[in-house]
Amino acid sequence: MDTTPITDRDRAMAQNVSSAPSARAPPRTSAGVSYWFVKSSKRILPVLQAYEKVHGRKAHEPDPA
């Protein structure tokens, strides 16, 4: 987990991930192209790193609520 403070830019990037069409309907299974893409591209995309930093979980993990 990243220990740097969460900035407004991090929150904005995390919001972009949350409002993406692939994130609106949570996947019923851990399969599919968008699930694989989100899971495998965390090292590449800074928006996914910001999402994990703000929410404390990875973007491909289900919402605990």
Q: What is the pLDDT along the chain (65 residues), one digit of tens a residue?
A: 557 899 999 999 888 877 776 665 555 566 677 677 767 776 778 888 888 889 888 777 777 77
Instruction: Flag whether 28 is in a domain.
Output: yes
17 within a domain of the structure (yes/no): yes
Q: What are phi and psi of 38, to 5 degrees?
A: -65, -40
Amino acid at 47: V
Q: How many domains does the chain have?
A: 1
User: Is 1 within a domain?
Assistant: no
| Residue 37 placed within a domain | yes
- Whether residue 26 is contained in a domain is answered as yes
- Residue 17, number of CB atoms within 10 A of its CB: 19
Look up residue 11 and give its two tokens.
């929150």
Structural domain boundaries enclosing 47: 8-55
Q: Is 8 exposed, middle or buried (0-12, 13-18, 19+ CB in 10 A)?
A: exposed
Does the residue 64 lie in any domain? no
Tokens of 18: 């949350």
Assigned domain for 36 exists: yes
Within a domain: 32: yes
